[in-house]
Amino acid sequence: MMEVLIWFWLGLFLLAVIFEAATVDFVAIWFAVGSIPAFILALIGAPLWLQVSVFLIVTIILIAFTRPYMLKYFKKNQIKTNVYTMIGKTAVVSEAITPNTVGSVKVRGQVWSAIASSTIPVGSEVRILEIEGVKLIVELIEI
């Protein structure tokens, strides 16, 4: 039984490393790291419940405390398009927007399709909340 567990933890480690190398999403690597102490415990003959507990604890702690920093560090070179800089900016409604129809707004000299959860008349100022495909999601700026 112990030999099977040793091979299980070693196999899990290898699968997680291969999966992480294929995806680079910083998810599987923590399972690989968590399988190392479980593998060591299997080598010394520790009970299965202890192996699984240590694996889960190490993996969960690593995901919770180190994954956000790794993502920030390694994915900092991702280039966002300029369109996302419009979020939070003000636009002027050029075609009325209702909850059931798409209207249009003008921002930075360009006309964009826009949707909102309320009716917004032409000439009103709106704040851009989000970009969904080629439509802006906006809300009326209350004065």
Q: Are both 20 and 70 inside the same structural domain?
A: yes
What pTM value is reported for the model? 0.53
> What is the pLDDT at residue 78?
58
Whether residue 84 has pLDDT greater than 60: yes
CATH number at residue 93: 2.40.50.140
Count of C-beta atoms within a 10 Å radius of residue 106 = 14
User: Last residue of some domain: 32, 49, 74?
Assistant: 74
> What is the rounded average pLDDT of the residues 51-65?
94
Determine what percent of the chain is predicted with pLDDT higher than 70: 95
pLDDT band at 79 (very low <50, low <70, confident <90, very high): low
- List the structure tokens of 134: 């080629």
Q: Are both 52 and 12 inside the same structural domain?
A: yes
| CA–CA distance, 28 with 76 (Å, rounded to integer) | 20
User: Last residue of some domain: 27, 50, 74?
Assistant: 74
Higher pLDDT among residues 9 and 79, named by residue: 9
- List the structure tokens of 86: 């419009």
Task: Tell me the per-residue pLDDT of 118-134, one tens digit each, with 9 for 90 and over.
Answer: 999 999 999 999 998 88
Q: Are both 108 and 60 inside the same structural domain?
A: no
Whether residue 80 has pLDDT greater than 70: no
Residue 13: give the domain boundaries.
Answer: 2-74
Q: Are both 64 and 91 inside the same structural domain?
A: no
Q: Using the structure block, give the residue that is written with the tokens 């100022």.
A: 125
For residue 138, give the 3-state DSSP assignment: strand
Determine what percent of the chain is predicted with pLDDT higher than 90: 65
User: Last residue of some domain: 36, 53, 74?
Assistant: 74
Q: Are both 9 and 69 inside the same structural domain?
A: yes
Higher pLDDT among residues 129 and 70, named by residue: 129
| 72, 93, 104, 135 from 126: Cα distances, Å | 32, 7, 11, 14
Q: Are both 44 and 92 inside the same structural domain?
A: no
> What is the rounded average pLDDT of the residues 54-81?
80
> What is the pLDDT at residue 123?
94
Q: What is the CA radius of gyration of the chain?
A: 26
> What is the pLDDT at residue 53?
97
| CA–CA distance, 94 with 122 (Å, rounded to integer) | 5
What angle is formed at CA 38 by the lines to CA 33 and CA 40, rounded to 5 degrees?
100
- List the structure tokens of 140: 């009326």
> What is the pLDDT at residue 100?
87
Q: Are both 120 and 94 inside the same structural domain?
A: yes
